[in-house]
Structure 1
């Protein structure tokens, strides 16, 4: 092994946070050609480093496990070799009248909506003062005072020595804004998108600029606002929506956040997960060799994709079997239910905000982070679950709605070497908020006739 081709990655664990000691038990190798590091871990070796003395105080070499091969881990388009899949046809977005939205600083106005877009070092993008124009009342009515990602909890459910404590709070421990990456025009966002730069302060107060951190665009996704057909009456159809999007990279994982505003008063919040799976090295080259619990899926030779919850230990999906895949896995399509971590599991105590899908609390300016103000030091005594035990009234109070959205990710071969985007989300939909259908009198846009030149 070439030491110059080895990368050491420290992983946080509460029991090592005394005297500034951190474990390094995630050693990764890089191929001679550059290659990737995440899919090639050195398993069984761990170090304990004292950051005050800047020296290794403990060293463990528990096992010898084959390092996964570099072949088949390349995902960059420029490095791919034939055969290739079919090329997708081009299409264009035309807005001859210009964009339908206006950006004034960080204030966005579009159709019957107006809202403010901000940025926070811990939460990342923040949507605030979202208001919709009520045609009947002749005024804007506030729908959302402030909306943002309070926390992201990522537990890896492998109890072996180098993995048992690998649970992450990506917002509270790392800062969601510090992982934000510039969005690529025509790749992350369509041609009609406008971009907003964002800023945050480093630990020493130095400002950091993230170019193209957020994009705003209109899209025609095929969603119908309303339609109806009757005999002797021509069909009526209405469409339209506005999107705000940003992207974040957390080491191996990428997150995509999408806020979608509809003229009907709905706000859809979407989350996309993609990137490179967290994997561990193993002795197996074929599923027939696995005789004990592997806590993951054999994705390639000597490569296990580790599950991120306990769904692998429960019947959490139905399967429809078909033909045999490359690694002799059973091909399947899955309908996933909602298993949870054990209530007495220490990571679950710290992430007790995931106990329920929906929480409602009276507004308190000190209750901003679902996992607690100082999540890296938390024992679970300052979480959303703890605040809710106070049994405070919410009638005639400003309230906070906390929605917990979960992904139970059991890796599969289709996720290797890079994971297709897995999407989820929820919708805030007005109910008895308006006197009648708020888009009944929405004027449809004039049609654009596009001609393609050879």
Structure 2
């Protein structure tokens, strides 16, 4: 029987580091450790030195991952004397052109510098967004539009919105649109959009490229939308504040730099500006064989695509790439014990870079904790033995690695949960606030056309949209030679009455996929199991 790793479905709840610099016991970095603070500073110095007197904007700096065979060879040696190459990949804007630069940290040199001329643009920096968002407040047409609506300019806030492309001709390459909200004493700005004004900012020139004030609709009311001090529920006596999860003897997992050991698991955890959490080299100990057996080489969120389904001028191009445009790691928030993470959690820091290349610390962006909610991993009560009642229960204790990324109105909670059963459960939960559109309607009876969403309050539409999460999953199930297998149920008709009176039964049909196109799978109601197997490794049976 081949060994296997089952792929579980990912459920999205739509209701709604670089780690601290550390070294291995041998005094050097793990080859998959993210760049340290000193290494990020070194990258800035090397790139700036190569472009003296030229403005360089840094959009991304991260580890240029060593080749997989080099990493696997490194970890297979107990006392390696030679490290894999230590390199950084740098995405910059220089003279309005995107550069992909590879920096060799050991030789203080640039290995390659390529101008990228394909589709897409670098991740936005928070600094350029901040500058762009201030432009309308000194732009007289915008000021006049706000006054025309009877609103006060000082109560208006602005937010950047990336622009999807549908083949239109554009004067500027890198651009954003600006979205406006009206506070008027409230903090839930997403419930009070100012509709009908479209401002496009060219980021390379940092100027307003186009302006359109096409319609006026009422700003939704603020009543009942404040989440800071919500209206108390008269009949609710549930008090959850102050609940604590304690481990009097401390956690049972160990954290050595970026290496985690818990129960039979060991793995490497790290932070990246774009991807957020990266899990690497996850292996589980086989007590019968007395050795660790590999499960996952590397896993992280590759992209989060959020397209809105509104065809109007202000909305049709709201098709966000939350990782590639805003950075899932760059959007990570500081986690707090007894809030986003239980009190028994341990925390890890990260480092990001500003657009001038200067690194900055992001404290407590990842937490690791043991989780138990009273669930059962396995149990059985045996009553068939005369005179005996035998019970055995194993509680479902697991280890969770968590990060929370706030991208605009949504907060993504990303969990990698390591279970005693040998599985890794990956969960992305969404919370925060829906993106609202202001409309003229105050009652659903007034609507006689497609409004691309649901009227949830007076003058307020919650616009239809999706969240598509794409994961990079490089499985090494007991080695590198893995195959993808689909197991489906098939109904078999049975007519031999001498053997059985039954008319039918179901059996399992297994098919190994030979190409990526064969492996494409549309999940639905049809019963199916998806496996990654290592057919070269066999158990005793």
TM class by shorter chain equals: 0.5 to 0.7
Residue 180 of structure 2 is aligned to residue 24 of structure 1: no
19 and 86 in structure 1: CA distance in 2 versus 1, 3 angstrom threshold: same
User: Would you say 1:276 and 2:441 are equivalent positions?
Assistant: no
2-side partners of 1:139 and 1:4: how far apart? 64
State the distance in 1 between where 2:463 and 2:332 align: 25
Matches within 5 A, 1:260-299: 260-299=417-456
Rounded Cα–Cα distance in structure 2 between residues aligned with 1:19 and 1:404: 38
Maintained 8 Å contact 2:244/2:342: no
Tell me which residue corresponds to 1:137.
289
Shift of 1:251: 0.9
Q: CA deviation at 1:201?
A: 2.4
Could you say if the C-alpha distance between residues 434 and 108 of structure 1 is closer, same or farther in structure 2, counting changes exceeding 3 Å? farther
- Note if 1:86 corresponds to 2:237: yes
Any stretches of 5+ residues in structure 1 without a counterpart? 310-339, 341-350, 363-391, 396-400, 407-425, 437-454
Secondary structure at 1:151 match in 2 = strand
Supply the distance in 2 between the matched residues of 1:264 and 1:56 (Cα, whole angstroms).
Answer: 56
Q: 1:115 to 1:160 in 2, by over 3 A?
A: same
Q: 1:141-196 deviations in whole A, cap 9, x for unaligned?
A: 11100110000000000111111111011111111111000112101111111111
Give the 3-state SS of the residue equivalent to 2:303 in structure 1. coil
**Equivalent position of 2:404 in the other structure:** 247
Name the CA shift for 1:70/1:224 in 2 (closer, same or farther; >3 Å).
same
Q: Which moved more, 1:230-239 or 1:45-54?
A: 45-54
* Residue from 328, 338, 343 that aligns with 1:191: 343
Q: For the Cα contact (< 8 Å) 1:266–1:427, is it kept in 2?
A: no
- Other structure's SS at 1:118 match: strand
Matched with 2:191 is 39
Aligned ranges for residues 49-448 of structure 1 at < 5 Å? 49-51=201-203, 53-76=205-228, 78=229, 80-81=231-232, 83=234, 85-88=236-239, 91-231=243-383, 232-239=388-395, 240-309=397-466, 435=539
2:514 & 2:474 partners in 1: Cα distance? 10
RMSD, aligned α-carbons: 3.6
- Report the Cα distance in structure 2 between the residues aligned to 1:148 and 1:52, rounded to whole angstroms: 31
Q: Partners in 2 of 1:181 and 1:80 — Cα distance?
A: 27
SS where residue 204 of structure 1 aligns?
coil
The 8 Å contact of residues 107 and 117 in structure 1, kept in 2 or not, is answered as yes
Q: Counterpart of 1:130 in 2: which secondary structure? A: strand
Deviation per residue, 1:71-120 (Å, 9 max, x gap): 122011x4545637322366543423321101111111011001111011
1:48 touches 1:57 (CA, 8 Å); kept in 2?
yes
For 1:106 and 1:428, how far apart are their aligned partners in 2? 29
Range that drifts further, 242-251 or 232-241: 232-241
Greater relative contact order structure (CA < 8 Å, 6+ sep): 2
Q: Size of the alignment, in residue pairs? A: 339
Residue by residue over 1:22-75, the C-alpha shift from the partner in whole angstroms, topping out at 9 and shown as x without a partner, is 3535221111x2433211111111123344555434322221211111112201
Judged with a 3 Å threshold, the aligned counterparts in structure 2 of structure 1 residues 289 and 238 are, in CA distance, closer, same or farther, namely: same
Structure with max Cα Rg: 2
Aligned-partner Cα distance in 1 for 2:245–2:531: 28
SS at match of 1:48: strand
- Quickly say closer, same or farther: Cα 1:169–1:428, change in 2 above 3 A: farther
Q: Distance in 1 between matches of 2:248 and 2:375?
A: 22
- Offset at 1:404? 9.9
Q: Distance in 2 between matches of 1:359 and 1:246?
A: 18
Could you list the runs of 5+ residues in structure 2 that have no partner in the other structure? 1-150, 477-512
Distance in 2 separating the partners of 1:130 and 1:17: 46
Q: Indicate how the Cα distance of structure 1 residues 81 and 178 shifts in structure 2: closer, same or farther if over 3 A, else same.
A: same
* Structure 1 residue aligned with 2:159: 9
TM-score, normalization by structure 2: 0.56
Residues in 2 aligned to 1:134 and 1:114: alpha-carbon distance in whole angstroms: 12
For residue 190 of structure 2, give the secondary structure of its aligned residue in structure 1: coil
